[in-house]
Structure 1
Amino acid sequence: MADMDTTVTVIDACGMAKVPALLLSRPGKGKSSLIRGLAAAQTIPCEVVLGSQYEPAEIGGLPYLDPNGSGVQREAPAWAKRLVEAGAGIVFLDELTTVPESVQGPMLTVVLDRVVGDLQLPDAVRVVAGANPPDQAAGGYDLAPPMANRFCHISYEPTVDDWLHGMSTRWRTLPLSRAVVASTERMSATVSAVMGFIHHRPDLLDKFPQSPEERGRAYPSERSWDMLARALAYVRADDQPAIQTLAMGLVGEGAGMEFVQWLQHADLPDPEAVTADPSLVDWAHERPDRVWAVLNGVVTLAAERGTVEAFRKAWKPLGAASDAGVKDFAAAAARTLATFRPANARIPAEMRKFEALLKSAGLLSEDAA
């Protein structure tokens, strides 16, 4: 269970990463009050959508024939139009476990693609949902796997102190978020960490649950690991409660806890520091999963920056790893890095160590230095 501070932080981090968040608790725990309070604190609108009150066509947009000859269009509901007009806000999909699967289907595009009818919601609009356990919801339904796998599931259990504070302020004052603005360096580090773990445990990349109950919760998939890599970039590297909540909320308790434990023991170096000084890593004696993670962090950082200088510098750690005998991992990273070569970038000396490989892959066609 996440405390109030961590809950606010994770919702904020998910919002900045464009990852939908789902608050889960027993009835009467104040989920709606919390979300409305977050919106009020940011002075943005909060549109509450009760999917159980909608027909499938209303969520997806009611079809109509455009009199101007553009064919069939889909009319978005009023709440979506208000958010588009405001340019920011929160879509709060309340009582999600009371929504039948026939309505959950059209809600999928709202949750992940942020499309309602023919309207694209602005980037500053965040998607948050609230739900009780299906057996404690009115006419409860398990979440369909495609819906469940689109959310970061946050088990919400406010303490007595949280409730007392909320009552005293009439829920107008909430803890400050610990989320941070993601830097290029932090993003490359979180991407490389997730990739390193999956290299270590490839069987956890996509593990569809066996029981219907588990399919309505967080579970590992290519999508949820990608969302985890993005969301982690918006929390500090030392914020263990937020990291654990994100990991368990996106890829499930088992895979999430294993990832957190691996991350703590991996103690991965900063990709920027390794790019500047490849000797920081003992390439010949390092664990394979760490080598894989570090090299991919270096490549991701160069790709994110997209400059000629970043491209040229990134080849130094790859060359050092190859010279130390870690040729397979270095070659895999080289293939990826070569695809991000800026048009005006000349070939650095370290890149020539992979010349035959890159030519055979069609990624290198010139010999000019």
Structure 2
Amino acid sequence: MSDLAATVTVIDACGRAGVPVLLLSDPGMGKSSLIRGIAAAEGVPCETVLGSIREPADIAGLPVVTDTGVTLCPPEFARRLAEAEAGYLFLDELTTCPPAVQAVMLAVSLDKTVGDLRLPDGVRIVAGANPPDRAADGWEMSPPLANRFCHVTFAPSVDEWLDGMTVGWGAPPASRAITADKTRVEAVKALVTGFIRHKPEHLHAFPRTADGTGGPWPSRRSWAMLAAALANVRDDDAAARQALTFGLIGEGVGVEFLTWCDHADLPDPAAVLADPSIVDWTGRPDRVWAVLSAVVGWAASAATVDSWRKAWGPLLATADAGAPDVAAAAARPLAACRPAAAKVPAAVRDKFKPVLDAAGLTGQAVA
């Protein structure tokens, strides 16, 4: 399996989820050529910004006095991308940017904000960097900036380089990313929340060494980014799943998470709503929680009275199976997302009265 193909897949999956990617390699590996090639293959523009030769105002925007006050006028590269409504913004030589420029790139990388201009959703953010010790006047990435990227080591093989020399660099491998539907999005969220329920100490683990703060590490932000991006990668694409996971939460925790996912084997949340008996509710609490989390997420995204009422079925089954604490934990978010016209089932009122009291639903109509 081509590593370059996995890299292209990760870039695509992250782009669909609005997650910025950082390509890390020695100088001369062809990072900018890859991004230009991907953009050309998709028929969208690619704007390259060299932070090492920019001042903070060149990226954040220059202040301009208008009749209504002072605005930050966005630079031309941002205007061109906004007009195109799609494309790639390639932030090159990120580790040669001084701290003041890195600080400006915080908003650009994650919020897609340049000056007072919000870039369209169709614009994808990719950065390129050399290790600080191999960059000209290199700077370590600040922890807040590092935690905003999916870090991908970029090292094309000899065969991939030979292919590029032969056919040109404008034809990168095809992406294997998929467009996640609602069910898959909720299922992947459940994998993440189920793992954190199992290993809460991994929710936020700031690195203990200075070197570690410039790489990927688990935080509330990076877990949310992983859930969003991983939904766009096929379950059988091991190379892309691993690169994406390691790139957002680090290798150590990433191995634990992927191992947990392999053993979770979660069912389709829509199938569980239709027939709660397909799940063994007396099984591992972390797996039961993950199943319930997917069910609640699916019902919340559906936002219908029918889906909300049906979602209580698996929770009641869990409570009856001897895990009322797990069921109550899932009942809190489900109660909070009640559609306006939904009536609380009588069995739910009797079983989860404390939760309904806290959500202000005790006095609601019962069916």
Q: TM-score, normalised by structure 1?
A: 0.96
Assess, with a 3 A threshold, how the Cα gap between structure 1 residues 357 and 209 changes in structure 2: closer, same or farther.
same
Partner of 2:306: 309
Q: Does 1:8 align with 2:5?
A: no
Q: Which runs of 5+ in 1 are unaligned?
A: none
SS at match of 2:124: strand
Q: Is the 8 A contact 1:194 1:229 kept in 2?
A: yes
Aligned-pair CA distance for 1:362:
3.2
2:307 and 2:8 mapped to 1: Cα distance?
35
SS at match of 2:359: coil
Q: Is the 8 A contact 1:334 1:354 kept in 2?
A: no
Matches within 5 A, 1:11-90: 11-66=11-66, 68=67, 70-90=68-88
Q: Does 1:359 align with 2:356?
A: yes
SS at match of 1:361: helix
SS at match of 1:158: coil
Aligned-pair CA distance for 1:355:
4.4
Q: Does 1:264 align with 2:249?
A: no
2:146 and 2:322 mapped to 1: Cα distance?
43
Partner of 2:106: 108
2:56 and 2:328 mapped to 1: Cα distance?
49
Q: Is the 8 A contact 1:316 1:350 kept in 2?
A: no
Partner of 1:326: 323
Q: Is the 8 A contact 2:336 2:359 kept in 1?
A: no
Partner letter of residue 53 of structure 1? I
Higher mean Cα deviation, 42-51 or 349-358? 349-358
Partner letter of residue 10 of structure 2? V
1:329 and 1:314 mapped to 2: Cα distance?
14
Q: Deviations along 1:167-188, whole A, 9 cap, x unmatched?
A: 1121121111110001101100
Aligned-pair CA distance for 1:349:
4.2
2:351 and 2:175 mapped to 1: Cα distance?
46
Higher mean Cα deviation, 204-213 or 355-364? 355-364
Partner of 2:344: 347
Assess, with a 3 A threshold, how the Cα gap between structure 1 residues 9 and 16 changes in structure 2: closer, same or farther.
same
Partner letter of residue 24 of structure 2? L
- Aligned CA RMSD, in angstroms, stands at 1.3
Partner of 2:139: 141
Q: Is the 8 A contact 2:34 2:170 kept in 1?
A: no
SS at match of 2:90: strand
1:307 and 1:240 mapped to 2: Cα distance?
35
Assess, with a 3 A threshold, how the Cα gap between structure 1 residues 349 and 164 changes in structure 2: closer, same or farther.
farther
SS at match of 2:343: coil
1:269 and 1:359 mapped to 2: Cα distance?
27
Partner letter of residue 59 of structure 2? I
Partner of 1:337: 334
Aligned-pair CA distance for 1:244:
0.9
Aligned-pair CA distance for 1:367:
3.4
Q: Deviations along 1:329-348, whole A, 9 cap, x unmatched?
A: 11111111011111112223
Q: Deviations along 1:168-212, whole A, 9 cap, x unmatched?
A: 121121111110001101100110000011111111110001211
Partner letter of residue 16 of structure 1? R
Aligned-pair CA distance for 1:218:
0.3
SS at match of 1:296: helix
Q: Which runs of 5+ in 2 are unaligned?
A: none
Matches within 5 A, 1:151-300: 151-284=149-282, 286-300=283-297
Aligned-pair CA distance for 1:118:
0.7
2:208 and 2:57 mapped to 1: Cα distance?
31
SS at match of 1:130: strand
Aligned-pair CA distance for 1:353:
3.8
Q: TM-score, normalised by structure 2?
A: 0.97
Aligned-pair CA distance for 1:2:
7.7
Q: Alignment partner for residue 130 of structure 1, among 128, 141, 147?
A: 128
Q: Is the 8 A contact 2:95 2:140 kept in 1?
A: yes
Q: Is the 8 A contact 1:2 1:245 kept in 2?
A: no
Partner letter of residue 111 of structure 1? S
1:2 and 1:201 mapped to 2: Cα distance?
33
SS at match of 1:26: coil
Assess, with a 3 A threshold, how the Cα gap between structure 1 residues 273 and 359 changes in structure 2: closer, same or farther.
closer
Q: Is the 8 A contact 1:315 1:350 kept in 2?
A: no
Aligned-pair CA distance for 1:280:
1.6
Aligned-pair CA distance for 1:154:
0.6
1:290 and 1:2 mapped to 2: Cα distance?
33
